Structure formats: C-alpha cells, structure tokens
Amino acid sequence: MNNIELIPAIDLIDGKCVRLKKGDYAQKTVYNEDPVAQAKEFERLGFRRLHVVDLDGAKSKHVVNDHVLRAITEATNLIVDFGGGIKTEADIEKAFKAGAAMVTVGSIAVTQPDLFLSWLDKYGADRVILGADVRNGKVSINGWKEDSEEDLLPFLKKYIAHGVKNVLCTEISKDGMLSGPAIDLYKRMMAEYPTLHLIASGGVSSTDDILQLEREGIPAVVFGKAYYEGRINIDKLKTSRLSDFSSSLAKRIIPCLDVKDGETVKGTNFINLRHAGDPVELGKAYSDAGADELVFLDITASFEGRKTFTKMVERVAREINIPFTVGGGINELADVERLLHAGADKVSINSAALRRPELINEITNHFGSQVCVCAIDARFDPDGWHCYVKGGRERTERGLFEWAKEVADRGAGEILFTSMDHDGTKNGFANEALARLSDELPIPIIASGGAGTMEHFRDAFVKGKADAALAASVFHFGEIAIQELKQYLRAEGINVRLN
C-alpha cells in the first residue's frame, strides 16, 4: 500500500478563500480573507502541494485571480496546481507566469478536444492535469453549470490513450457536503486505469476518509472544507501510515545529462569524462521510458557553447513531454529568459548563486520559485561539509547546511545536492547529509552522486528522505532500466509514478 498524496485546496472568489456546496455560488462560505496567509499555514503544517481554484475565473471563462496565485507562489515554496477559467493558451501562460507548477483543464477537454491535446503536447503530461468533474455519471463543464454528454470512463480512456497521466476527479454531488468521498467511483476508475495518478476530490469529511482512500489505493486526495471546519486531525495523519507529508508526494527519478560540445559525457568525481551519446536522443528515450524529469547541464559554458546548448534545448523541447531543467553558465536574468524561451521548464544555478546570492531572489521574483533549482556541489572535508564551485575545482568557505538554508530562505524551489565524494563511484548516495537537508529545509531535495544499484535509490528515499534521485551513468550505459527501477521502488513501498 502506497502513501496517498495530500493536497489541501484554496478556492478563490473576490480574492478570498471560500468553499461552495455542490458548486453553487449562492452557497458560499468565506473561511479566510487572506489566501496567502492560509497557504503559509498549509506550508507550516508540512504540506508541500496546494490546489488553487479560480472560481471567479470558472464563472467568467477566463483567469481572474492570477494576482492571488502569484502572491501565494512568491510567499511560499508550495507546489501549486491551478485551475478555473483556463480557456485559452494565454490563460495557461498567465498561470505559469504567476508561478503555477501545473494547470488543471476541464471544460476545454470536453468542448475543444483538439485544443486540449495541443496543450498536452506543448506543455507535457506532468504540467497539464485533466479535470473531470462528474454529475450523474456525466462530465460537467463551465464551472459545473452545464452537464455534457460525455460519460466519464470513455472520456478518460480517450485522453489516457493520448498520454494523460494526472486526472482530478470531483464528484459534484459530494463537493462541500462533508458526506464522504465517492470511493466506489474512484475504485472503478483505478480498476480500469491502474497506473493513473488519480486525484480524488469532493466529500472528504474526516481524517478517516483520507485513510480509507489510501487503503483503497487512491493515489491522491484534495480536501478543503473538512480542514477548515476542524474535521481533519493533522496529528493523526502524521502518526498514521502517512508518517510525514513529504512521503505522500510521488518520488521522482531524474536522469542527468552532462553536455560538452553537444555530446553527453560522464565522469567520476567530476573528472575522466567519457561519451554517452546524443543528448536529444537520450532525453527522448528517457522520456519514453518513464523518467519523471530530466536535467541537462552545460559543463563547458563558453559563449559558443551557450549558443550550441540553447539550440539543443530547443530540440529537446520539441522531442520530449516531461519537465526538464537546464544549467551551466547562468549568471543573470537574461540567461534564464533565453533558456526558458528555448523551452526549458526550470533552470539550475550553482557557482553564480554563491558569487551573488541575490540572483536567487531575482529569478524567483521574476519567474516564480518553481523555475529556480539551486545546485550545491559539496565535499566532506576534515572540517565538515563545504561547497565547491567551478565544476568542483574550487572550495568556498560556505558550509553546506548554512548555504542550503539561505538558498531556501531566498525562495529557491528545489535544491539539487551532489556529494562530490560519492559522484560516479556507484557506492550509494550521501544519505546522512540528505536526511539532514530534508529535515531542516521546507523545499524538495534532489539526491545526486553515487547511484549504482536500485537499492541505492531506495535508500536515498527511505534513509536520505530525498524527494527525487538523480543519476547519470547507470542510466546512460544501460545498467539500470527506469521502468524496472520504478517497479522495484513500488514493491518496496515507495510512491512512484508508473507509466
């Protein structure tokens, strides 16, 4: 049995945090006039993800509360998915620009399927959630004001065949009623599509409802009113199988491709490089094989190299449908803008951040926290863990843990921690340091350096408490297959997404 992903919700009307009954705008209760304060409270409690619904947008058929979304993403490190009123590509761009990591699209998938598929193709299945709001077995649209002729299961089948992975399903008759979730409906959906990342929504009335959904194998749950009315016992969730909230998120497997002169290379302890293939072809193969994300690092970012690397990023964006991060030679906002414009989802900064920490604030303020991954290369020296720059060639006087805390405080969305002592050795990750980072910081930690066996990945998640694990040579040279690794991790009780 896998841990269920826990997603608190904030529904917005007039910039306030509200809940409706059965989607009826006339039955509105305001629970907090400051949704940013509410989001901060969710983060303080240990939640890492948030579902935000623009009810004004759903009613008016265009995004309205993007300013509130931006305020939430700037004030917290929560992973936010955003829905309501997304009818055009401009609405999607507005949501992403305001800091959303994912968007939920419902009505358009019913009324304009070709348009929805074009968005799925452009932004990827990890950034577009299919919203399936159901009433009397039919999919509803336009803020639940209309019922379509689409039956739920055939509707899902059509889009799952086109690559949809994430579905948010709300049983409208249950929503806001505190009558218990539509468990039978969700069980039918999971029986039909067992690898679907189903997000159950509507009707949760208690902690026990969440635990029952978990027992039935439902991957994720959204809840709102039950929390606001004190019916969910956070301490009980923490002491149940949901031993900590970070474990409720699916763990990510991330191949890393170090790129030198347009070729993928890999070394040991940052030296002795050998070629591993074309980065675009490798990236596409990893995307097809079920990798959750990719990282591309330009390890020789000269001026000419930057131009070559940018063209490669454009090619990658055309070929893959999963999020990818790029790094190397990023020193200013113009570098970030260039790479995001080429198609990257996130950027990774390292030496530049240590030289000028304000760069983290500039990136997050301009593009959102979710764009900024701060890479930290560190070595355990006789006087403790120290950060290194210039590809690991130069020691700084910044200690790993105090620098990581500053990185988080400045708003970075994730930390990519590479132990230089472990890199390329295939002897396992630096789990003790990883666990300390995960315990002390509110943002996701990506483990890097040392993967050699599937057990090493398991230990990074269990002992190291990492949110994601990154590796290179074991994937590049066929030593570990991603799907086999995920099947192994799932059998070990670790929540991973399967294709």
> What residues are labeled active site?
258, 377
What does each C-alpha distance from 207 to 128, 181, 240 come to in angstroms? 28, 12, 10
Dist. CA 463–CA 465, nearest whole Å: 6
- Residue 400 phi, psi dihedral angles, 5° rounding: -55, -50
Q: Are strands 468-471 and 394-399 parallel, antiparallel or unpaired?
A: unpaired
Give the dihedral sign, CA 193/288/431/8: negative
- The amino acid present at 80, given as its one-letter code, is V
Q: Which residue is it, tokens 């889009």?
A: 159
Determine the Cα–Cα distance for residues 439 and 418; give it in Å rounded to an integer.
17
Contact 301, 309 (CB under 8 A): yes
* Residue 342 DSSP symbol: H
The dihedral of CA 393, 395, 401, 407: what is its sign? negative
Q: Which letter does DSSP use for residue 245 in this model?
A: G
Burial pattern 49-80, b for ≥16 Cβ within 10 A else e, equals bbbbbbbbbbbebbbbbbebbbbbbebbbbbb
Q: Residue 349 phi/psi, 5° resolution?
A: -120, 150
Closest by alpha carbon to 119, among 321, 326, 311? 321
Q: Which residues contact 112 (CB under 8 A, 6 or more apart)?
A: none
Name the one residue in this structure whose structure tokens are 């040991």. Answer: 268
Cα–Cα distance between 79 and 7 in angstroms, integer? Answer: 10
